[in-house]
Amino acid sequence: MARKVLLIEDEPHIAEAIRFILSRDGWTVASHATGHAALDAVRRERPDALVLDVILPGRGGIELLGDLKDDPALAAIPVLVLSANSRERGRAEAAGADRFIAKPFANDEIVAALREVAGP
């Protein structure tokens, strides 16, 4: 059975590219484009991992990450954070990100990072 990843990314072209890359690697990909619906989506979807953009409409990725890590039912979900601003790395790691990747990224970098955080 394919593992499930929840992608929270508001940029349609980036979301579609990541969906394609991860689907090709065997992941089932669900996605959402806004921050305010993301926490409910994580609770509903129960993904094996989360790919989370920092800048989102409605609610920021760092704030969402903090909420996830504060919720005992969701805290163990591995989170890969993406941002166009590499200076967000420190904030993402302090909030509990398992990995951080700056945009633009290489396709194999996303796959390798997700495999790393989600485990075998």
CATH topology of domain 4-118: Rossmann fold (3.40.50)
Kindly list the distances between the CA atom of residue 6 and the CA atoms of 19, 33, 38, in Å, as whole numbers in the listed order. 10, 11, 9
- Name the residue ranges covered by the structural domains of the chain: 4-118
Half-sphere CA count of 90, side-chain side, radius 13 A: 1
Residues 9-61: tens digit of each pLDDT = 999 999 999 999 999 999 999 999 998 888 899 999 999 999 999 999 988 99
Task: Please tell me the pTM assigned to this model.
Answer: 0.94
State the amino acid at position 105 in one-letter form. Answer: F
**CB of 30 within 8 A of CB of 75?**
no
C-alpha R_g of the chain: 13
